[in-house]
């Protein structure tokens, strides 16, 4: 089998990381399967993870216009497809959808990876008529859905929430081609034997790019609540903070908790950073799945998170962590303390978290993904 994975770039992100992780797993466990990655931008922020993988860069691009002239240049991508002759084209991110479906190959099985609830696929509403950007997106949807019908497109949904979304926005003929396959991690990379040391400060960590919807400013309120209760606590926020970082720092300074906040930016060895922390906290307002929650669990960290919908699949309430359904800093802080102040509970949750995360190992994921490919090829 020959697989072509198409992704916008190899910049930092959950979709990009999954493409690399599954490509490594296929290379390791299925040497008879060929897997090539096509990146549409010459950006690679995962030099170690991408080492020894078959990666090509492609300058093809599409910019569609409802009122003006559309720009369509997929010649380079078409040449890659013709030369490689894939059995499967598996696209990740919306731009990859447009480019990879512009000219369809008759003997290829096409897969869309629903890493999130892409707004480009929303259903038509009255408000669509009055906003040019929404009308353009709906026109694009009609165009790409027509391509999907032509190639009998398949969709990989990463959670029950994304499955529900795509079933609601796709025509029935395509909704029946949805497979739910939760994201995965290299479990053994993140697993560690926990040293249950409760003598120092409580170390909290969140890993995500900093933005309004990731909502890290909420964690500053949680940090303030904990320090007001006399808790010796530090919060580490890992991620690119160029967009929202300064506002987070300013809030921490205003509330008097800046000395308890660490913001090292992007790090290469996040698995080692998890080991130095005690509880993973997650403040995202929307979450399609939550790979970092699994990474943290594999490291033995209980999780306290807001309800991002897609991450509901990952929390067994009171077993590997807690989901807090209201954006209430005091409730969130109380859940953290419920874990931290009971050493036996913490140990039990840590063990359960690792057992839970093991079910999402990348080897099992690759097995299931290749089975889906094979099933579709034979149908």
Distance of alpha carbon 50 from alpha carbon 17, whole angstroms: 9
Looking at per-residue pLDDT, the higher value among 24 and 210 belongs to 24
Q: Which of 68-72, 86-90, 252-256 comes out lowest in average pLDDT?
A: 68-72
Domains of the chain, start order: 2-184+361-378 (3.40.50.2000), 187-358 (3.40.50.2000)
What is the predicted pLDDT for the residue at 29? 95
Q: Is the dihedral of CA 332, 338, 343, 345 positive or negative?
A: negative
Q: What are phi and psi of 302, to 5 degrees?
A: -60, 155
Helix locations, 229-341, DSSP H: 245-254, 270-275, 291-298, 329-340
Whether the per-residue pLDDT at 172 is higher than 90: the answer is yes
Q: What is the mean pLDDT of the chain?
A: 93
Q: Is residue 126's pLDDT more than 70? A: no
| pLDDT value at residue 14 | 84
| Identity of the highest mean pLDDT range in 43-47, 97-101, 206-210 | 97-101
Q: Is the pLDDT of residue 317 over 80?
A: yes
Instruction: Determine the average pLDDT of the residues in 114-133.
Output: 76
User: Does 15 have pLDDT greater than 80?
Assistant: yes
Among 188-192, 196-200, 223-227, 245-249, where is mean pLDDT lowest?
Answer: 196-200
Categorize the per-residue pLDDT at 344 as very low, low, confident or very high, splitting at 50, 70 and 90.
very high
pLDDT tens-place string over residues 194-231: 888 888 899 999 999 888 889 999 999 999 999 999 99
CA distance linking residue 377 with residue 237, whole number of Å: 44
pLDDT of residue 360: 95
End-to-end CA distance of the chain: 15
Q: In what order do the strands lie in the sheet with 2-7?
A: 54-57, 34-39, 2-7, 88-92, 109-114, 154-157, 178-180
Q: Is 87 within 8 Å of 377 (Cβ atoms)? A: yes
High-pLDDT (> 70) share of the chain, % = 98
Over range 178-197, report the average pLDDT. Answer: 92
Number of H helices, E strands in the chain: 15, 15
Q: Which of 271, 230, 238, 259 is nearest to 357 (CA)?
A: 271
Q: Which two tokens stand for residue 331?
A: 């409730």
């Amino acid at each position: 089998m020959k697989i072509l994975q198409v992704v916008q770039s190899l910049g930092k992100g959950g979709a990009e990381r999954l493409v690399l992780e599954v490509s490594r797993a296929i290379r390791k466990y299925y040497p008879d399967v060929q897997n090539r990655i096509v990146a549409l931008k010459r950006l690679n922020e995962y030099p170690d993870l991408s080492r020894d993988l078959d990666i090509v860069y492609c300058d093809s691009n599409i910019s569609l216009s409802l009122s003006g002239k559309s720009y369509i240049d997929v010649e380079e991508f078409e040449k890659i497809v013709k030369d490689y002759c894939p059995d499967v084209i598996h696209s990740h991110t919306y731009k990859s959808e447009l480019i990879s479906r512009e000219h369809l190959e008759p003997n290829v099985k096409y897969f869309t990876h629903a890493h999130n609830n892409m707004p480009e696929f929303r259903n038509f509403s009255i408000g669509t008529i009055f906003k040019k950007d929404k009308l353009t997106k709906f026109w694009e949807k009609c165009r790409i859905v027509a391509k999907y019908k032509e190639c009998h497109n398949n969709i990989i949904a990463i959670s029950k929430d994304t499955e529900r979304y795509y079933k609601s926005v796709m025509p029935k003929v395509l909704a029946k081609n949805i497979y739910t396959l939760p994201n995965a991690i290299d479990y053994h990379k993140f697993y560690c034997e926990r040293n249950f040391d409760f003598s120092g400060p409580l170390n909290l960590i969140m890993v995500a790019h900093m933005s309004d919807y990731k909502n890290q400013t909420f964690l500053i309120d949680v940090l303030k609540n904990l320090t007001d209760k006399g808790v010796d606590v530090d919060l580490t926020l890992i991620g690119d903070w160029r967009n929202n970082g300064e506002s987070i720092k300013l809030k921490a300074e205003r509330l008097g908790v800046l000395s308890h906040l660490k913001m090292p930016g992007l790090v290469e060895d996040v698995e080692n950073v998890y080991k130095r922390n005690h509880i993973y906290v997650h403040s995202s307002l929307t979450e399609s799945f939550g790979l970092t929650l699994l990474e943290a669990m594999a490291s033995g960290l209980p999780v306290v998170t807001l309800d991002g919908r897609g991450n509901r699949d990952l929390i067994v309430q009171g077993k590997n962590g807690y989901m807090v359904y209201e954006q209430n800093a005091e409730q969130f802080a109380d859940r953290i303390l419920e874990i931290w102040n009971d050493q036996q509970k913490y140990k039990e949750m840590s063990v359960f978290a690792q057992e839970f995360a093991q079910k999402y190992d990348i080897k099992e994921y690759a097995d299931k993904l290749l089975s889906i490919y094979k099933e579709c090829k034979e149908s």
